[in-house]
Structure 1
Amino acid sequence: MITYVMGDIGEAKLKYILFRILGSVGREDLMELFYTAAKELIVNSTKAAIKRIIFEELKLNIQNLQDYEEGMKLFKSSLNERKFPAYKKKMRESGLFVKITCIYQKDKIDLEIRNNFPLLPIEAERVKEKFINAKKYDNLFEFFMEHGDSTEGAGMGITMVEILLSQSGFDRRLLSIYSSERKKETVARVEVPLSGIPKSTETHEQLFVE
């Protein structure tokens, strides 16, 4: 499923697809986890695409650190989800999209949310920080009390998905993000084993950049 800016019809289609897949393996109980995780990661991916459009409009070099910091201030102050629809056409024209894939394998279901561009080095560093920061919170109330709402990238999404995984009895580190300059893509992946797994204390990388 490919989307530019997901609206009500897209959300209904996403819900239908997930329900059919989970229903086929008798795991409708995972619907809330998959649907909420998908929506959060789709919003993050959409923001990342819109950010690149805004930088183009402002004639700022997103690869330049000074331009990036300046552009992010404007991005944070001006963008909210109500403005997303205005960028749907611009995403199409720019060739930017968000691809949602749900893959059923023998013992697990993988949810993948894909952008057709890689992370910038500064974005990768901030995603890494957010993975570390997300471990501090056991529930979203704690996160909101400390940080409030955030409009950049994967801050809220990473924390939300990790908490959802934890509250559903899974390891938080089943969420990972992969970015490839060679393949020109960034993929947020949630891997959920159908049999469940014990939580592990071993270190496990969640961000992969090549």
Structure 2
Amino acid sequence: MSDATLSTTKIQKAVQAGVPLSITTYTLPHQMELYMAEVLTAFLKELNQDGMTEYMIYCLNELTTNAKKANTKRVYFKEKGLDINNPADYETGMSGFKNDTLENIRYYLQLQKNAGLYIKLILHHSRDKIKIEVRNNADLTPNEYKRIHDKITRAQQYSSVEEAFSSAVDATEGAGLGLIIMVLMLAKLGAGKDCLQVFCENGETISRIIVPVDKERRNEITILSKELVDAIDTLPQFPENIARINTLLNDPDFKLSDIAAYISNDIALTADLLKLVNSAAFSLANPCHKIADAVKLVGVNGIKNLLYSLGSIKSLGASTNEQRKLWDHSYRVAFYSYNLARSFYASQRAIVDDAYVCGLLHDMGKVVFDFAHPKLIEKVKQICENKALSTSLIERLASGSNHAEIGALIAQKWNFPEIIGHSIRYHHDPDGAPENVKKLVGVVYLANMLVHYGEGDIEFYQFDPEILKEFRVENEEQLKKIAERLEAAFEKENGKS
């Protein structure tokens, strides 16, 4: 986000996808400060965390002001011919810094813009935490680092602002009262002592705040999500033919020949199975035309995954434009997931086998809500009234908030394998997934992000760096090549179909 026009749609998408939002400025004019506060307000509202807005805006202003001051210091010292890392020069420079820069602030702000010194705000949330970072591309000096950490340590000892006021303060670079107030505010939000971190990394000074989401607000949307899934008593059942094959597969005495014979009697299932086997996924030298051969090639897990996929699509349908759009996205994510798994985890058969179905069903929460939405509104309103919940939560759920949790609950209701439920629940938060499914969830996460990236919905910086490292992506150029290859393969496959 680089312009100063608030894009609530972009904020909403970032919150739904669990990806970071970034704003960069070089001089931090007042209009930009207001814009950042506006974005933060909308971000917290989308997360149903409005109660912490006032506190977090104060923290934001404190951190951005400090970053701006640090950048101004760099150009001021350079202008005066002083070495900011030299203790004697530092003392000399700071004696005149405040008066000189205030008298000619526009000049020094222009200098820092010319030098490419920026201030960057990054907002991000995971399932239980909200992270706010303010970065500026100038390393702290050892003296600055010590001074800041001394202030943070001192601030953590106070229990009130009054106590801080009555204590002795360091007047050399300000009392640090703003930082003390910030630490006290964060404590009120339930943040621990390590919630405020200031450190240097890759040429940047990073000031990071991590606060837990308000449990009461989080519980409200969790309760409503569960009630919503329980209220969908009209969920369609899987078609009888698919349910019958599922039953056969769960019979310990079943034979693949019986499955092949049953599928052969169903024209639609026959066509879908042959289409799958003859797709690029299996890379066959010659087309397969016999169902018995197709069943052997796909295997038991492949047949089960095919049934979960077809059952979900046929049960939920694709009658509305929104449903068709959701399924189109899901088909692409499924294709990307399978090809990523085959490229990076070829020796791990379970990941390759499950990648397609997990990619296809990752957004099932959105599809289900769209399917049931018209019939649900009145029920959900009644639930909100009965449980004294805000009706504004309905809009958040309708817009896709908590769709991963809703999808996972639906998968559980439909008795899907646990691994599919995990991939749905954590496809925006692979780090939170259980260890045994982390790699598979990482595949689905990257596939989903690559589709959004190809559509221009997200930028490179919004990808999880740990996932990029896992897939050996070191820069945006490499990511672009992967995205372009997958898109070309998908279009080719789609055209062939």
1:6 to 8, 28, 32: 28
In 1, distance between residues paired with 2:142 and 2:188? 32
Segment drifting more, 104-113 vs 142-151: 142-151
| Offset at residue 62 of structure 1 (A) | 1.1
Higher relative contact order (CA 8 A, sep 6+): 1
- Identify the residue that residue 202 of structure 1 maps to in structure 2: none
- Identify the residue that residue 144 of structure 2 maps to in structure 1: 123
Residues 1:69 and 1:33: Cα distance change in structure 2 (over 3 Å): same
TM-score normalised by structure 1 residue count = 0.81
Structure 2 counterpart of 1:142, one-letter code: E
Indicate if the aligned counterparts of 2:101 and 2:108 stay in contact, CA closer than 8 A. Answer: no
| Offset at residue 41 of structure 1 (A) | 0.5
Asked if residue 187 in structure 1 is aligned to residue 209 in structure 2, the reply is no
1:49 to 68, 71, 88: 71
| Offset at residue 154 of structure 1 (A) | 9.2
Listed one character per residue, the Cα deviations across residues 80-105 of structure 1 (whole Å, up to 9, x for unaligned) are 5x864443211111111110111122
Q: After superposition, where does 1:132-151 map in structure 2 within 5 Å? A: 132-146=153-167
In 2, distance between residues paired with 1:17 and 1:154? 29
Residues 1:60 and 1:101: Cα distance change in structure 2 (over 3 Å): same
- Identify the residue that residue 181 of structure 2 maps to in structure 1: 160
Residues 1:22 and 1:185: Cα distance change in structure 2 (over 3 Å): same
Residues 1:44 and 1:18: Cα distance change in structure 2 (over 3 Å): same
Residues 1:156 and 1:2: Cα distance change in structure 2 (over 3 Å): farther
Listed one character per residue, the Cα deviations across residues 25-52 of structure 1 (whole Å, up to 9, x for unaligned) are 1111110121110000111111111111
Indicate if the aligned counterparts of 2:26 and 2:116 stay in contact, CA closer than 8 A. Answer: no
| Offset at residue 128 of structure 1 (A) | 1.9
Structure 1 counterpart of 2:212, one-letter code: P
Indicate if the aligned counterparts of 2:139 and 2:205 stay in contact, CA closer than 8 A. Answer: yes
Residues 1:188 and 1:5: Cα distance change in structure 2 (over 3 Å): same
| Offset at residue 147 of structure 1 (A) | 5.4
Residues 1:145 and 1:74: Cα distance change in structure 2 (over 3 Å): farther
- Identify the residue that residue 102 of structure 1 maps to in structure 2: 123
| Offset at residue 11 of structure 1 (A) | 2.1
Where do 5+ consecutive residues of structure 2 fail to align?
A: 1-22, 216-497
Residues 1:152 and 1:46: Cα distance change in structure 2 (over 3 Å): farther
Q: Secondary structure at the match of 2:124?
A: strand
| Offset at residue 106 of structure 1 (A) | 1.8
Residues 1:147 and 1:113: Cα distance change in structure 2 (over 3 Å): farther
Structure 1 counterpart of 2:208, one-letter code: R
| Offset at residue 70 of structure 1 (A) | 1.1
1:36 to 43, 55, 58: 58
Segment drifting more, 165-174 vs 46-55: 165-174
Indicate if the aligned counterparts of 1:2 and 1:98 stay in contact, CA closer than 8 A. Answer: yes
Larger radius of gyration: 2
In 1, distance between residues paired with 2:104 and 2:127? 40
2:108 to 81, 84, 87: 87
Asked if residue 17 in structure 1 is aligned to residue 36 in structure 2, the reply is no
Indicate if the aligned counterparts of 1:118 and 1:184 stay in contact, CA closer than 8 A. Answer: yes
Identity of aligned residues (%): 31
Where do 5+ consecutive residues of structure 1 fail to align?
A: 197-210
2:48 to 9, 14, 26: 26
Q: Secondary structure at the match of 1:61?
A: coil
Indicate if the aligned counterparts of 1:149 and 1:156 stay in contact, CA closer than 8 A. Answer: no
Structure 2 counterpart of 1:133, one-letter code: R
Segment drifting more, 8-17 vs 94-103: 8-17
Q: Secondary structure at the match of 2:148?
A: helix
- Identify the residue that residue 383 of structure 2 maps to in structure 1: none
2:91 to 38, 55, 69: 69
- Identify the residue that residue 200 of structure 1 maps to in structure 2: none
- Identify the residue that residue 307 of structure 2 maps to in structure 1: none
Indicate if the aligned counterparts of 2:170 and 2:176 stay in contact, CA closer than 8 A. Answer: no
| Offset at residue 144 of structure 1 (A) | 3.7
TM-score normalised by structure 2 residue count = 0.36
Aligned length: 193
Indicate if the aligned counterparts of 1:47 and 1:153 stay in contact, CA closer than 8 A. Answer: no
Indicate if the aligned counterparts of 1:110 and 1:192 stay in contact, CA closer than 8 A. Answer: yes
Residues 1:84 and 1:22: Cα distance change in structure 2 (over 3 Å): farther
